[in-house]
């Protein structure tokens, strides 16, 4: 069993799409091991996205991620990281496959409705950034 980290981003939460995204997650066989709705501070967003701090989009990304609540998730299943990335679709919704979360729900490349760990090492950082061991079942 593998775990991955996911975020339903502000654009999707604001448009009340979380339920539809959660339904897709469960339909694809994921177990939700942890879930909570939170409001990130600017500092928390900067800490989470620190790997992008030198990129030109860093400030806009942190402002976006802290503008309104998000839903953070720890998802579990065999091949969870790759399967979640497939379900999300390409970062740019214009390039995403039909039926993916980003193709169906994203506003644009910046407001693309979802985030997911891209590797086991990333998941190992991201999951405990938001969840204690006691919060995962």
pLDDT digits 0-9 by tens, 26-85: 999 999 999 999 999 999 999 999 989 999 999 999 999 999 999 999 999 999 999 999
Question: How far apart are the C-alpha atoms of 80 and 55, rounded to whole Å?
Answer: 28
Candidate list 40, 114, 115, 117, residue with the active-site label? 115
Q: 10 Å Cβ neighbour count for 66?
A: 19
Sheet of 114-116: strand order equals 31-38, 70-77, 2-8, 114-116
Q: Is 115 a catalytic residue?
A: yes
Question: How far apart are the C-alpha atoms of 136 and 1, rounded to whole Å?
Answer: 14
Distances (CA, A) of 52 to 25, 49, 55: 27, 6, 5
Structure confidence by residue, pLDDT tens digits, 122-132: 999 999 999 99
> Does the predicted model carry a pTM greater than 0.85?
yes
């Amino acid at each position: 069993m593998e775990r991955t980290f996911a975020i339903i981003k502000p654009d999707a939460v604001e448009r009340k799409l979380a339920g539809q995204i959660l339904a897709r997650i469960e339909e694809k066989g994921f177990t939700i091991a942890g879930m909570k709705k939170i409001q990130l501070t600017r500092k928390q967003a900067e800490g989470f996205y620190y790997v992008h701090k030198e990129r030109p989009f860093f400030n806009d990304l942190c402002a976006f991620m802290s503008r309104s609540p998000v839903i953070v998730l720890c998802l579990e299943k065999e091949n969870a990281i790759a399967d979640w990335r497939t379900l999300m679709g390409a970062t740019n919704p214009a390039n995403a496959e039909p039926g993916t979360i980003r193709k169906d729900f994203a506003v644009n490349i910046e407001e693309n409705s979802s985030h997911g760990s891209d590797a086991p090492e990333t998941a190992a950082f991201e999951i405990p950034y938001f969840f204690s061991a006691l919060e995962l079942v």
